[in-house]
Structure 1
Amino acid sequence: MSTSVAAVNASGRGSSYKWVALSNTTLGVLMASINQTILIIALPAIFKGIQVDPLAGNQTSLLLWVLLGFNVATTVFLVTFGRLSDMFGRVRLYNLGFFIFTIGSILCSITWSKGVAGEVELIIFRLVQGVGGALLFANSSAILTDAFPMEQRGFALGLNQIAAVGGSVIGLVVGGLLADAGDWRWIFLVNVPVGIFGTIWAYLALKEIGVKVKASLDLLGNLFLGLGILGIMLGLTYGIMPYGTSSMGWGNPWVVTALAGGVVCLIVFVFVEMNVEHPLFQLHLFAHRSFTLGNIASLFAALARGGLSFMLIIWLQGIWLPLHNVSFSHTPLQAGIDTLPQMVGFLVAGPISGYLSDKAGAKWYTFAGMIITAGGFALINTLPFNFHYWTFATYLFIIGIGMGVFSSPNSAIIMNSVPPRYRGVASGMRATFMNAGQLMSMGLFFSIVISGLASRLPQAYLNGLSQHGVPLPYAEMVSKLPPTASLFAALLGYNPMAHLLPAQILNNLSAANRSTLLGMHFFPNMIGPAFHHGLALAFWISGGLALLAAIATVFCKTNRVAAVAEQMQSKADLPKSTGLLSSVEIARMERLGLIALHQARTGLLPDAPEEEKEKARRAIQLLQQVLEHKQNVSLSS
């Protein structure tokens, strides 16, 4: 880093700018994160508004794309936008993200077609939103890392991570509130004033203080990365769809082709990156142990928690709330409210963990966070499908605490381990691992739960319908319903019996049997035990993934060599501007320089990347300058 850049960074970090950057990026990340989950709760209102029957043929795949299109677009473009931000400026692309996201929200709100055409329009407009979200996610951490000094980054990144993870929980509540309020279009319109305000504020207040890299865009790498991620996402999406006589589509040749093609494209992508002058994915960053293990831990954590919101909403909206006499029209809002303990736990733990990890080191906080999360999954697995709410809320709170303790130190470990000029692409890579983990987690959770439904639900339908007077041929017909359809009926929070049984069959039943079949309790009691059977396995796997994340963090290390020169250079120009350094600043710079000198002498540097060796050498030179300055001050006094 040149002296001029150091001076700019020093002035930026010493002023109120860093708090402006934190406020604006937190707003942007919060808005984008809310929109990752806001549709989960609001789908019944949206489908009613565009006149779609969710149990009609081919609706399940479209439903999934309405839900996941935003996340897929975000994941595909994250690294590309991170690399572009290193080349053209993080703030410039971040501002563009706010603008595109706002335009996408407006387009979603004015979806004009009905039926399948309306769904397709909504999917396309959600993809536009996802492009804006990718620009916001890819640059927020890099902007904060540029703006905040090392000793405050954990706190700043922690608040940003709280917005990212907390927003996904807030989205459930906001979706429930807006769905309960009336017109489904408000689910998207609510973003517009926030987006306009954030765009103007970012344009006026944020400034480029990072290091730009002169490079060309790796078009071939972009192509293979995008195709690889898209192929895997398509395979996961359609893998949980029924195929032939199977309850899932993992034997579908198109699914196998998509998954295999996606993996091949990612392998080709790695070879491309190893042989181009300006790679998109800076593979050499994986030479930094903390960067590699931090991202592995982040991936495992995202795999553990990514599908949790979906499963909790199905559990609450389709099973638990109807069993407790909450009408289907009010289950969306109540389901969102009932998941709040997870967010509260995250909000309590996140800032504290970020602050303490800045003082005491991040590694053991990330370890403790994942251990707590694994314990929370083990506890929630002890609940029956018709649980006591406050026990459920306590276990959700524990999971939220664990995630909060983990998230901000993990972000700090990753972002502090890379050189300043790679922060944009590092931020994009970190977010890609996290988003890909969340998407794969949804596929994993759905697959496990559908397997549980397929093994138990047909017999439950057959027994339950027969006991309530439905003729055996019709009971068998309903029992052959793909478990995916039953799962999405639960997600949408309604009893599908009126849709599945012909009117003449229902009319021929006794009033008591008809009332039972169409009432609030029959469908939840049918699907509840089978759903819980699959969910229990999913939660055990999540707990295991959290433990793997904890193990990965144990081997992270804080490489002070990479940080020393940056911190010292931010102070190096102070004698020129203020005349004298304070005794506190001199002592601090001596300590940092001596750390670099000690690491150089004890053999740490030979294994370090060349760039870090150069940083350490500059740090030692600065230490010499500080000592000379201190000696001059002593002589003059």
Structure 2
Amino acid sequence: MATSGTAGPAGGTERGRRWIGADHPHYKWVALSNTTLGMLVATINSSIVLISLPAIFNGIHLDPLQPGNVSYLLWMLMGYMLVTAVLVVALGRLGDIWGRVRIYNAGFLIFTLTSVILSLDPLDGGGGALWLIGWRVVQAVGGAMLMANSAAIITDAFPAGQRGMALGVNMVAAIAGSFVGLVLGGVLAQWDWRSIFWVNVPIGLVGTVWAYRSLHETGIRRPGRIDWWGNITFGVGLTALLAGITYGIQPYGGHSMGWTDPWVLAGLIGGAALLVVFCVVENRVAEPMFPLRLFRDLAFAGGNGAALLGSVARGGLQFMLIIWLQGIWLPLHGYDYADTPLWAGIYLLPLTVGFLAAGPVAGYLSDRFGARLFAAAGLLVMAASFAGLLVLPTDFSYPLFAFLVFLNGLGGGLFAAPNTSIIMASVPAESRGAASGMRATFQNAGMVLSIGVFFSLMVAGLAGSLPGTLSSGLTAQGVPAADAHAIAALPPVGTLFAAFLGYNPIRQLLGPQLLGQLPAANQQTLTGREFFPQLISGPFHDGLVVVFWLAIAMSVVAAGASLLRGRGAGAERPPQPPRSAPSARVGAGS
């Protein structure tokens, strides 16, 4: 068994170019810091586009509210998350076979190169949108390599008594990155839309060089074959299912949503059928990419179930808060629509602060007092914050809103690290890469599902009350009743996306001819800052009630799942005292 040997920069071995040896007592901190940087940049990238979409579409001269452009908007939002959800398991399994560090390092390199290519988008209109969507898909491959193997690298490097703390720091970076991206995207979008891709380049370059120079293969590598049929059925099945959910949000055949669209039904039914075939395949192959036997351990199954439900609830909250702030609260409080992305990110800072405050502390304490109670308590705190947001008026007092979103971030921070520790401790060492990928799959799939689930619920809520509110509001400003009724009958998804993007769509809905026939005072009212937010605030709150009740139910069920106990590799062991290095490692040259 070969390792890097000495603590010196050369190490005196074939890995001499490395800065620090794998047996050096500080190596674990090197592994933690680099993988935390990798997770941070990968998850910032998943949300930085979210809040920068108005600037991106303006930059490539594409109107996101035109019916034909809704697909561009959806794939810009979901393409990155969908690809990472599909690939993390396969890439985690490849890490077990070929080396976790090798896959992780390649991910950093791919991520950095595609950031450069994205910032150089030479096209306009639909072509520019396709350039960004296509290269973000490639970038997602690099992001999935980082996500799939970071937790496994940390688990290999740290002794059991410090593992929860280390995973806590990593997981806080991963999930807080999605919130940091909101603020960063809002700030950078004010300067230049390309800067949201430039910002990844220097971080990626530093991280890539650092990873190649510092990280070692310290885990157990088990040579094996790639499960091609498992990869194909899982990838195609999950892609079809999540794509069906994505297109189900869009109107079809006179309906407000597309759940009756044959292509959507084909994606949902065909995707589910392929996932069933995938389960059959995985139970029959000798070396499955997705070891279903791991789910026999209740701790592993419960931890992943909690991760999925928590991710859906957290993703739904993120989207709803952006709509709430950009489309309603900020315009009502005097902010121009062009500035709402920046200020929405700033006003959501308490969410990030709550995460950063609780995450590392929860990981540290869970090493000493057990992970389950912390994970369950965090989810119950999240449920309490959803209940508080449920009764908050649409035009709320900001200090109370800030407290509730801080509480939500605090709950998420309490849950993230202990839950990851439960999952990773319940599997044997040779399956840590696959287990890390499976955990990331549930987490990323939850984010994609949250868009479909919560947008559908919100559209359903708007469909019941928005038409009447919109029709009466327009006629009150002098719009002819027939025209007002026709506009009110349009699918509400356009109105929802307008709020999500911080747009006032009234000018576009009326058109220049109809708007020009109205008195100047009415024109000013209709296209001003307050008319649209006041108009949709009531219907939006109706939809919000349904969304938050579902989020409460998911959080409570997830809390129960995180309390399950298993008989896995480490799930039932009491906390271990720290030790200087893991007892069994396979060297870099093995």
d(CA) in 1 for partners of 2:540 and 2:472? 17
d(CA) in 2 for partners of 1:550 and 1:498? 46
> Which blocks of at least 5 consecutive residues in structure 1 are unaligned?
575-637
Q: What TM-score, normalized by structure 1, do the two folds share?
A: 0.86
Alignment equivalent of 2:103, drawn from 93, 107, 122: 93
2:130 corresponds to which letter in structure 1? V
Alignment equivalent of 1:47, drawn from 57, 60, 66: 57
What is the DSSP-based 3-state SS (H/G/I as helix, E as strand, rest coil) of the residue aligned with 2:338? coil
2:477 corresponds to which letter in structure 1? H
Quote the residue 1:595 is aligned against: none
What is the DSSP-based 3-state SS (H/G/I as helix, E as strand, rest coil) of the residue aligned with 2:337? coil
1:78 corresponds to which letter in structure 2? V
Q: Percent identity among equivalent residues?
A: 50
| CA displacement at 1:542 relative to structure 2 | 0.5
| CA displacement at 1:504 relative to structure 2 | 2.8
d(CA) in 2 for partners of 1:515 and 1:572? 69
Alignment equivalent of 2:532, drawn from 523, 534, 539: 523
Q: Does the 8 Å contact 2:3/2:22 carry over to 1?
A: no
Alignment equivalent of 1:490, drawn from 472, 483, 499: 499
| CA displacement at 1:7 relative to structure 2 | 10
Q: Does the 8 Å contact 2:425/2:570 carry over to 1?
A: no
2:550 corresponds to which letter in structure 1? I
1:170 corresponds to which letter in structure 2? V
| CA displacement at 1:572 relative to structure 2 | 11
Change (3 A) 1:225 1:321: same
Quote the residue 2:237 is aligned against: 228
1:445 corresponds to which letter in structure 2? F
* Cα deviations by residue, 1:227-264 (Å, 9 ceiling, x for unpaired): 11101111111101001111001111111110001100
d(CA) in 2 for partners of 1:475 and 1:569? 69
d(CA) in 2 for partners of 1:275 and 1:467? 67
Deviates more, 1:503-512 or 1:434-443: 503-512
| CA displacement at 1:40 relative to structure 2 | 1.4
Quote the residue 1:585 is aligned against: none
Quote the residue 1:277 is aligned against: 286
Quote the residue 1:153 is aligned against: 163
1:333 corresponds to which letter in structure 2? L
Change (3 A) 1:570 1:173: closer
Quote the residue 2:67 is aligned against: 57
Please state if 1:370 is matched with 2:379: yes
| CA displacement at 1:53 relative to structure 2 | 1.0
| CA displacement at 1:44 relative to structure 2 | 0.7
**Higher RCO, Cα 8 Å, sep 6+:** 2
Q: Does the 8 Å contact 1:6/1:569 carry over to 2?
A: no
| CA displacement at 1:326 relative to structure 2 | 0.6
d(CA) in 1 for partners of 2:276 and 2:348? 39
Please state if 1:20 is matched with 2:30: yes
Change (3 A) 1:568 1:312: closer
Please state if 1:71 is matched with 2:81: yes
What is the DSSP-based 3-state SS (H/G/I as helix, E as strand, rest coil) of the residue aligned with 1:337? helix
d(CA) in 2 for partners of 1:573 and 1:435? 30
Q: Does the 8 Å contact 1:462/1:475 carry over to 2?
A: yes
1:75-474 maps to which residues of 2 (within 5 A)? 75-181=85-191, 183-474=192-483
Q: Does the 8 Å contact 1:306/1:437 carry over to 2?
A: yes
Change (3 A) 1:513 1:440: same
What is the aligned length? Answer: 569
d(CA) in 2 for partners of 1:561 and 1:261? 37
**Which of 1 and 2 has greater Rg?**
1
Change (3 A) 1:6 1:565: farther
Q: Does the 8 Å contact 1:91/1:143 carry over to 2?
A: yes
Change (3 A) 1:298 1:573: closer
Q: Does the 8 Å contact 2:111/2:140 carry over to 1?
A: yes
| CA displacement at 1:477 relative to structure 2 | 2.4
Q: Does the 8 Å contact 1:342/1:400 carry over to 2?
A: yes
Change (3 A) 1:561 1:318: closer
Q: Does the 8 Å contact 1:294/1:553 carry over to 2?
A: yes
| CA displacement at 1:314 relative to structure 2 | 0.8
1:69 corresponds to which letter in structure 2? G
Quote the residue 1:547 is aligned against: 556
Quote the residue 1:630 is aligned against: none
* Cα deviations by residue, 1:407-431 (Å, 9 ceiling, x for unpaired): 1000001001111111100100111
Q: Does the 8 Å contact 1:418/1:426 carry over to 2?
A: yes
| CA displacement at 1:14 relative to structure 2 | 5.8
| CA displacement at 1:94 relative to structure 2 | 0.4
2:283 corresponds to which letter in structure 1? M
d(CA) in 2 for partners of 1:359 and 1:118? 52
Quote the residue 1:608 is aligned against: none
Q: Does the 8 Å contact 1:344/1:397 carry over to 2?
A: yes
* Cα deviations by residue, 1:436-464 (Å, 9 ceiling, x for unpaired): 11211121110000111111111111100
Change (3 A) 1:551 1:433: same
d(CA) in 2 for partners of 1:19 and 1:299? 29
Alignment equivalent of 1:538, drawn from 521, 524, 547: 547
| CA displacement at 1:325 relative to structure 2 | 0.5
* Cα deviations by residue, 1:304-354 (Å, 9 ceiling, x for unpaired): 112221111111011110000011121111000111111111111111111
What is the DSSP-based 3-state SS (H/G/I as helix, E as strand, rest coil) of the residue aligned with 1:306? helix
| CA displacement at 1:507 relative to structure 2 | 2.2
d(CA) in 1 for partners of 2:4 and 2:362? 29
Change (3 A) 1:253 1:331: same
d(CA) in 2 for partners of 1:241 and 1:433? 24
Change (3 A) 1:37 1:571: closer
d(CA) in 1 for partners of 2:570 and 2:193? 53
| CA displacement at 1:556 relative to structure 2 | 2.4
Change (3 A) 1:6 1:377: farther
Give the superposed CA RMSD. Answer: 2.2
Q: Does the 8 Å contact 1:60/1:484 carry over to 2?
A: no
What is the DSSP-based 3-state SS (H/G/I as helix, E as strand, rest coil) of the residue aligned with 1:141? helix
d(CA) in 2 for partners of 1:6 and 1:174? 39
Q: What TM-score, normalized by structure 2, do the two folds share?
A: 0.93
| CA displacement at 1:214 relative to structure 2 | 1.2
| CA displacement at 1:31 relative to structure 2 | 0.4
2:526 corresponds to which letter in structure 1? L
Change (3 A) 1:535 1:13: farther
Change (3 A) 1:510 1:131: same
| CA displacement at 1:569 relative to structure 2 | 13
| CA displacement at 1:505 relative to structure 2 | 2.3
1:549-564 maps to which residues of 2 (within 5 A)? 549-557=558-566
2:528 corresponds to which letter in structure 1? G
Change (3 A) 1:266 1:5: farther
Alignment equivalent of 2:489, drawn from 471, 480, 483: 480
d(CA) in 2 for partners of 1:573 and 1:524? 57
d(CA) in 2 for partners of 1:448 and 1:205? 47
Change (3 A) 1:499 1:426: same
* Structure with greater helix percent: 1
d(CA) in 2 for partners of 1:249 and 1:166? 33
> Which blocks of at least 5 consecutive residues in structure 2 are unaligned?
7-20, 584-590
Q: Does the 8 Å contact 2:156/2:582 carry over to 1?
A: no
Q: Does the 8 Å contact 2:159/2:578 carry over to 1?
A: no
